[in-house]
Structure formats: C-alpha cells, structure tokens
C-alpha cells in the first residue's frame, strides 16, 4: 500500500468531511431545537451551490477581481438561509410543529421536491462549474504531494470556525442560552418570557445557512448538476445519525470519520465507496442506537 495513496486518502477525507460537517451540523441544529427531521435540508445545500456559482461566474464575466468570489460565497449562503429558509419556516413548518412525525416528514419532503424543480426552472439543467476561487488560492505541498489550498486549508478552517462559533454562540450568548432553554423545555422557556417562535425561526435560518454554506464551498470544487442535494442530504443524515441527532460536536467527529472512510474506499476499494458511510452508520447504531454522542434520556444542542 503506497504511502502516497494513504496520504491522499487522508487529505481527501479531511476535505470531504469538512464539507459534509457543514451540512450535517445544520441538520442536527434544526432537529435539536425544532425537533423536526428536515428532508428539505439538501435543497438548501444545492441552492446555495447554484447561487454561489452563478455569482462567481457573474464576477468573472464582469472582469472583477477573483478575491471578491469569497465574499460572494458567504453572501450566497446567507441569502439562501434567510430568504429560502426563512420562507419555508414561516409559511410551512410553523403549521406542523407538535404534529405527528410522519406529517412533518411528508411536508419537508414535499418542500424538497418543490425546491428541486425550482432549481431546474431557475438555473436550468446544464452543469455549472465555477472553480475560480479554488484556482486563485493555488496549491500547497504536503510531503511531496501537491493539494489545493482551497480544499486542504480553507474548507477545514471554515468547518472549525463554524464548530467553535456555534459552541460560543449557544453557550456564551444570551440568545444562544435562550435556544438551549427552548430546546430543553419550550413551555417553561415561554413562561420565562422567551419568544419561542423567534427562536425557531432564527435557528432554522442558521441551519439552512450552514447547509447553503456547504453548497457554496462545494461549488468551486465540483460540477453542479440537478440532484446534487439528494446525495448530500443522505450523507448528512448518516453523519447526524452516527453522531446522534442534535449533537453538534459529535457531528464534527462523525463527519471526519465518514469522510476518511469514504475516501479510503475510493482509493483502495472503489466498489464500496458508496456503501462505506452507511456501513459505518449501521455499525455504530447497532452498538449505540442513540448515536455515538447522545444519551437515551435527553436531547441536547
């Protein structure tokens, strides 16, 4: 087994795990607070990718500096989270809080299907590829192997910043503590004067924005085609279930584990590359049905 291939597999796993973490942590945050398994989450990823790619391509067509692409990626994620995520929460999800889980799944699945067709109407079915941000950052050498700085440095740093930022936000800010209070006991939190509806809306927007940020970052590394949201959604579910739904720190560990497992399969057993993430999830859930980092009694953010 050549050491170069092992190193490449590890680097690919780090980059891929960082990307999946951004989507999975948004899914976990929404479930942890709202108690809804949001099937439409993959659409936020896909729309974020398309909006970011369209913005980067527009910058290039206008002859503007390439470094402006990075603010465009962040702006695209924020716009998708606020506009699309906020609309979905206000118009639909508020009507199904506290209802049966099957109804919630059907509603979010319907939203997913609607948004999938909306993407085709707005962006068409031809592939989008906007790799200017990745090319602008160049490559970095790691033990004789050249790897893109965008994937090896930027994406893991963004994932780490999101993890630390969420931890600080939820544990050190007044609104973050309000979110945790609503998560633990909505009725008691409401009695204390916390606006639970506002907490739900902002939490959903944050979760949707994180998924869109994952898509925005991915837009520079891969060709965008219809259906990209579905595959990412399933992988993010695998990460969230492996960690334990609602566990933010656990999602980081699970994303890295699944990213490394998948990349190893791509290099050494490519016929199993699709299977490995779900095999990891299945093995974990057989031993710990609540996930690696959850407890049976409580659900935490």
Which residues neighbour 169 within 8 Å (Cβ) at sequence distance 6 or greater? Answer: 175, 176
From CA 184, how far away is CA 96, in angstroms rounded? Answer: 19
CB of 184 closer than 8 Å to CB of 299: no
Q: What is the dihedral of CA 151, 123, 207, 247, to 10 degrees?
A: -60
Question: Mind listing the pLDDT tens digit for each residue in 93-140?
Answer: 988 887 888 888 899 999 999 999 999 999 988 888 889 999 999 988
Q: What is the dihedral of CA 136, 141, 145, 147, to 10 degrees?
A: -30
Is residue 155 very low, low, confident or very high in pLDDT (cuts 50, 70, 90)? Answer: very high
Q: What is the dihedral of CA 266, 268, 270, 274, to 10 degrees?
A: -60
Does 76 score more than 60 pLDDT?
yes
Q: Which of 121, 126, 120, 112 is nearest to 43 (CA)?
A: 112
Q: Name which of 34-38, 63-67, 150-154 the model is least confident about.
A: 34-38
Q: Which of 19, 292, 28, 301 is nearest to 169 (CA)?
A: 301
CA distances to 20, 153, 171, 256, 275 from 158, rounded to whole Å, are 12, 9, 20, 14, 27
| pLDDT at residue 1, as a whole number | 57
Does 299 score more than 50 pLDDT?
no
Question: Mind listing the pLDDT tens digit for each residue in 237-287?
Answer: 888 888 876 678 888 888 998 888 888 888 888 887 788 888 888 888 888
What's the pTM?
A: 0.91
| pLDDT at residue 274, as a whole number | 81
Does 3 score more than 60 pLDDT?
yes
Domain 3-287 annotated CATH 1.10.1200: no
Q: Which of 137, 136, 161 is nearest to 149 (CA)?
A: 137
Q: Where are the beta strands (DSSP E) in 6-144?
A: 139-142
| pLDDT at residue 297, as a whole number | 47
* Phi and psi angles of residue 126, each rounded to the nearest 5 degrees, phi first: -80, 145
Question: Mind listing the pLDDT tens digit for each residue in 4-23?
Answer: 788 888 888 999 999 999 99
Q: Which of 290, 285, 247, 233 is nearest to 109 (CA)?
A: 233
Structure tokens given for 264: 């190893």
Q: With pLDDT > 70 as the criterion, what percentage of the chain qualifies?
A: 96
Map out the domains of the chain as residue ranges: 3-287
Q: Which of 170, 160, 167 is nearest to 19 (CA)?
A: 160
| pLDDT at residue 294, as a whole number | 64
Mean pLDDT over residues 145-169, rounded? 92
Report which secondary-structure segment, H or E, holds 146.
Answer: strand 145-148
**Diameter of the chain by CA atoms?**
62
CB of 206 closer than 8 Å to CB of 40: no
Helices (H) and strands (E) in the chain, counts: 14, 2
């Amino acid at each position: 087994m050549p050491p170069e291939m092992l190193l490449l597999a590890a680097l690919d796993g780090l980059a891929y795990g960082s990307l999946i973490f951004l989507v999975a942590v948004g899914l976990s945050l929404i479930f942890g607070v709202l108690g809804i398994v949001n099937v439409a989450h993959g659409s936020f990823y896909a729309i974020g990718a398309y909006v970011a790619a369209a913005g980067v391509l527009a910058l290039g067509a206008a002859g503007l500096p390439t470094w402006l692409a990075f603010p465009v990626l962040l702006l695209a994620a924020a716009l998708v989270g606020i506009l699309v995520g906020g609309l979905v929460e206000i118009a639909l999800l508020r009507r199904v809080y506290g209802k049966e889980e099957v109804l919630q799944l059907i509603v979010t699945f319907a939203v997913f299907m609607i948004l999938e067709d909306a993407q085709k109407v707005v962006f068409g079915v031809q592939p989008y590829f906007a790799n200017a941000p990745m090319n602008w950052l160049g490559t970095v050498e790691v033990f004789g192997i050249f790897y893109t700085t965008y994937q090896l440095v930027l994406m893991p740093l963004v994932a780490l910043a999101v993890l630390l930022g969420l931890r600080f936000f939820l544990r050190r800010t007044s609104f973050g503590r309000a979110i945790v209070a609503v998560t633990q006991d909505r009725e008691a939190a409401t009695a204390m004067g916390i606006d639970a509806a506002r907490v739900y809306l902002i939490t959903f927007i944050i979760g949707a924005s994180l998924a869109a940020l994952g898509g925005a970052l991915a837009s520079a590394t891969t060709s965008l085609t219809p259906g990209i949201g579905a595959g990412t959604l399933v992988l993010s579910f695998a990460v969230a279930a492996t960690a334990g739904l609602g566990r933010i720190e656990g999602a980081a560990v699970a994303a890295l584990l699944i990213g490394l497992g998948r990349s190893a399969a791509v290099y050494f057993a490519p016929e199993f590359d699709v299977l490995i993430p779900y095999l990891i999830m299945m093995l974990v859930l057989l031993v710990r049905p609540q996930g690696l980092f959850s407890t049976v009694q409580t659900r935490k953010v």
